[in-house]
């Protein structure tokens, strides 16, 4: 289901990207955040954290290599992380 929300948002974001309206990675991040949160079904289920610094202990975190990183977004359901998102902005390119 999460993939469907991202696909729908990415389709809407494409217009902004291809028209040159998006000028930076943070701008891309802001639009994606807005599009995802505008969907009431998404926002009822998921929470988005923007550029959180990952800290903590535990085998899962250690094995993942995420400790100390700052991803663009973390999507969670309650306290469970369901997606770690890293965006890349390439001016004058087609989004994929």
The string of pLDDT tens digits covering residues 15-40 is: 888 888 888 999 999 999 999 999 99
In a domain? residue 91: no
In a domain? residue 77: yes
In a domain? residue 45: yes
Domain count, the chain: 1
Given a contact cutoff of 8 angstroms between Cβ atoms, the answer to whether 74 and 49 are in contact is: yes
Model confidence, pTM:
0.81
Q: 75: pLDDT confidence band, cut at 50, 70 and 90?
A: very high
Question: What does the alpha-carbon distance between residue 78 and residue 36 come to, in Å, rounded to a whole number?
Answer: 17
**94 pLDDT higher than 70:** no
Mean pLDDT of 40-49: 96
In a domain? residue 78: yes
According to DSSP, residue 58 is labeled S
Given a contact cutoff of 8 angstroms between Cβ atoms, the answer to whether 64 and 81 are in contact is: no
What count of other Cβ atoms lies within 10 Å of the Cβ of residue 17? 19
Structural domain of residue 53, as residue ranges? 2-85
């Amino acid at each position: 289901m999460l993939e469907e929300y991202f696909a729908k948002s990415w389709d809407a974001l494409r217009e902004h990207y291809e028209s040159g309206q998006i000028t930076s990675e943070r701008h891309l991040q802001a639009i994606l955040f807005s599009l995802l949160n505008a969907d009431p079904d998404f926002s009822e289920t998921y929470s988005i954290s923007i550029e959180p610094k990952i800290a903590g202990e535990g085998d899962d975190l250690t094995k993942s290599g995420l400790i100390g990183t700052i991803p663009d977004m973390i999507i969670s359901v309650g306290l469970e992380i369901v997606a770690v998102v890293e965006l890349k902005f390439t001016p004058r390119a087609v989004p994929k």
